[in-house]
Chain A
Amino acid sequence: MNVACDWAFPLVWAQQSELDSIPWLKWIIVLAVVFFGIFPGIVAYTVWGERKVAARFQDRIGPNRVGPLGLLQPIADAIKLITKEDLVPRSADRWVHLIAPVLILVSAFLVLPVIPFGVGLAAVNPPSGLIYLIAVSSLSALGIFLAGWSSRNKYSLLGAMRAVAQLVSYEVPQVLSIVPIILWAGSLSMVTIFDKQVLYGWFLFSPPGMLAFVTLTIANIAEVNRTPFDLPEAESEIIAGYHTEYSGMRFGLFFLAEYLSVFAVSCLGTAIFLGGGTLPWPLTGEPVVTLGGGETLFAMLLLNLPLIGIFMAKVSLYIFLMFWIRATLPRLRVDQLMAFAWKFMVPLCIINIFISAVWYECVIRPSKPNYLLGWGVTLPLVVVSIIGVLALYRSSMKAEPVELTTGSRRRSVVRSVS
């Protein structure tokens, strides 16, 4: 299987160079079609999908008035948002108020160019793409902070405070659960990570890989401020958090950025753990191996259409998982949120890096991968470390009953203010 893949790569790269010979055309296509057309469209229908899914979970029907199945609802919403008045509060810091949503949206957009949607379909392929991705996604914390600060509203400021504390805390486990991938792929380039997964199978299919995938998913949900981590915009406590004072399309930009980040983190999880556009285990090399031949534009399309289709199917599943969690779990308290990040996620992720090094020694470094040994050694290690960290976390939470009282008191303080 792995040997069979080797011949495919020179051919695949040859196709890439054909498109590279017309870089300006490629850039115009990428910018105009994908970034201004497809991604906002995906966002619009993610919102529609979320409303439908959430409605089904609550035994409702969801949007069904505008167009068949309510499919035109996002367009109606967008028109409504654009025609609404764009207000800036009189006491707000005008320029910072205007810049903040743009900064968040730019951060969400900048993540997407390095995602390899297919062979040769990453808009740019910097050798340190993963670091770039983490760097630009950390810009959104600044935008959220500025949005909350510039509004001159206590709810906005509260939301911004919560958001920044949460984003900074959960960025640590997010990055730490990416580290095993860097170790296994031996590269920071997203395209190289995709190619390695074609050769070695999805990085998900190993005990440390599964653990890292779960921690990455939890950290991702926290990073995009979705329930159960939606404290920054908790409607029942602080109105809408950092975007309370925004209206019209400027609020729409926050909305767009939020769902675009949902899409972006799903793309990240798919690209680095779920093998991008490849099929699961017995057919890992497909469809790259079978369709890898040929150097024409037609062959490239033939190869990439199934790749993009599978990629998008995985991304949809990942987003659906987020909807599911949102419809199921209640919101956490601030102290629970922080304790969970620092006392459970971070130690577990650090231990997992060592376990993934064991997996690397058993499976990836030897010329003949020994999967049985790898599973036999790392699976007990993963189970023991999860149980151990969980027990430590439980005992540390039990030893501090004072935290419970402060948390409930804090909520009552907030309530009395509002």
Chain B
Amino acid sequence: MNQILFGVIATMGVLSALGTVLARNLVHAGLFLVAFFFLIACQFVMLEAEFLAAVQVLVYIGAVAIILMFGIMLTRNIQGDDTTTVSRAGFIAGGLAAVGLLTVLIFGITHEEGRSGRPAWNSVTTRPAIYPASARKSESQAAAINNMGLAVGEDLLTRYIVAFEAAGILLTAALVGAIALAIQEGPVSDDPSDRVKSKQNAESLAADEAESLLTSSRA
């Protein structure tokens, strides 16, 4: 049963991934990507990681996909339906690069060897940690499954604290950078078509920009 389900979900996942790459309409490609994210969440459920499945839906479909759609609409023409064309040469080169990457990955993962006599990375269960392993609560796999939110939270704030904080700083920097780019300093222009707003919140700026872009392109 599980094997069949996995097969079905994996097949649909590969098909929607192909759809993402091959769809000519950008919003359709985005929709296929959403389907792919959802099927990844299904795989998490198959692995009894329903917390991760919910987080996957929340982060990738609820946030990333929406931002992606916004991005498509703000950067290209507003309906996002100018079909992009790829030249045959580009198609062949891209295909070759993809096949090459796949070969390298498969070969690398299956033939991986440990450094200086140690066992291979994918055959050991312990991972390097800042926080000493002995100080952690020993928790069984079943407990982690039954309260995965707790398990993930504890690991994020103990074992993976450095990576977690680094990611947080990176995202904050990105946010500040985005706001700094979006703000236009200086006095308000007299030209009524010029939409200059100083010191406005980045999010409201994005929304306003979308609206004024739309109205000006339609007017």
Contacts and interface: CB of A to CB of B under 8 A. Distances in A.
Given A96-B28, A142-B34, A188-B149, A406 B197 contact: yes
A161 B65 contact: no
B218 A417 contact: yes
Given A127-B147, A128-B50, A135-B55, A334 B208 contact: yes
A131 B207 contact: no
Interface residues of A, number: 49
B192 A131 contact: no
B204 interface: yes
Given A131-B149, A149-B80, A339-B204, A417 B188 contact: no
B198 interface: yes
B9 interface: no
B203 interface: yes
A405 B188 CA distance: 11
Contacts of A335: 200, 204, 208
B215 A132 contact: no
Contacts of A152: 79
B215 A417 contact: yes
Contacts of A4: none
Interface string B187-219: 010001001011111011011101110111011
Nearest to A186: B150
Interface stretch (B12-20, B56-64, B118-126, B155-163): B56-64
Nearest to B218: A154
Contacts of B80: 149
Interface string A267-291: 0000000000000000000000000
A187 B27 CA distance: 38
Contacts of A193: none
A142 B54 contact: no
Interface of B: 25, 27-28, 31, 34, 50-51, 54-55, 57-58, 61-63, 65-66, 69-70, 73, 78-81, 146-149, 188, 192, 195, 197-201, 203-204, 206-208, 210-212, 214-216, 218-219
B112 to A, nearest CB: 33
Given A128-B51, A134-B58, A157 B78 contact: yes
B149 A162 contact: no
A402 B204 contact: no
A141 interface: yes
Contacts of A161: 73, 207, 210-211, 214
Contacts of B201: 338-339, 342-343
A120 B218 CA distance: 54
17 contacts: A96-B27, A96-B28, A131-B54, A134-B62, A138-B58, A139-B61, A145-B69, A157-B79, A164-B69, A165-B206, A400-B200, A402-B197, A403-B200, A410-B211, A417-B215, A417-B218, A417-B219
A409 B193 CA distance: 10
Given A136-B57, A154-B218, A413-B212, A142 B66 contact: yes
Contact of A165 (B31, B207, B215): B207
A335 B207 CA distance: 9
B56 to A, nearest CB: 8
Contacts of A83: none
A124 B151 CA distance: 21
A21 interface: no
B66 A145 contact: yes
A168 interface: yes
Given A161-B211, A414-B215, A406 B149 contact: no
A96, A128, A132, A141: most-surrounded residue (chain B CB, <10 A)? A128
Contacts of A128: 50-51, 54, 148-149
A138 B214 contact: no
A216 B214 CA distance: 32
B54 A135 contact: yes
Interface of A: 93, 96, 126-128, 131-132, 134-136, 138-139, 141-142, 145-146, 149, 152, 154, 157-158, 161-162, 164-166, 168-169, 171, 187-188, 334-335, 338-339, 341-343, 400, 402-403, 405-406, 409-410, 413-414, 416-417
Contact of A131 (B55, B63, B69, B81): B55
Nearest to B193: A413
A168 B59 CA distance: 12
Nearest to A238: B211
Given A142-B66, A149-B80, A161-B73, 8 more contacts: A127-B146, A128-B54, A135-B61, A141-B62, A145-B66, A152-B79, A338-B201, A403-B197
Contacts of A139: 57, 61-62
B27 A413 contact: no
B208 A406 contact: yes
A96 B32 CA distance: 11
Nearest to A409: B192
B111 to A, nearest CB: 38
A110 B72 CA distance: 28
B79 A342 contact: no
Contacts of A168: 63, 66, 203
A413 B149 CA distance: 48
A171 B62 CA distance: 10
B211 A132 contact: no
B218 to A, nearest CB: 5
What 7 A-B pairs have minimum CB-CB distances, sorted nearest first?
A: A138-B62, A338-B204, A165-B207, A135-B58, A135-B57, A128-B51, A131-B54
Contacts of A126: 50, 54
Contact of B211 (A146, A158, A343, A402): A158
A164 B192 contact: no
B179 to A, nearest CB: 11
